[in-house]
Amino acid sequence: MTKPSEPLRGEAAWKAAKKEIAERNEAAYARGRRERAARDAARVSRRREEQRKANLDLPVRPER
């Protein structure tokens, strides 16, 4: 039979907590990178659309 698992103590508990924090941090960094990429893509798209509209308003060069 296996004995019931006891809560970690001392250095083992500290290492487990440290690993858990590192995993959460990595997940947060990944989520931040995805969100920033989405914001940047939206910004580029808006800027392109603004430029396209601005170019439609440019004066037309008269023909000779």
Q: How far apart are CA 18 and CA 63, in angstroms?
A: 73
- Residue spans per domain, the chain: 32-57
Whether the CB-CB separation of 37 and 45 falls below 8 Å is answered with no
Residue 45 reports pLDDT greater than 80: yes
pLDDT tens figures, 4-31: 688 889 999 999 999 999 999 999 999 9
Band (pLDDT 50/70/90 cuts) for residue 42 is very high
Residue 61 or residue 41, greater confidence = 41
Q: What is the mean pLDDT of the chain?
A: 92
User: Rounded to whole angstroms, what are the CA distances from 14 to 3, 6, 18, 24?
Assistant: 23, 15, 6, 15
Residue 3 or residue 13, greater confidence = 13
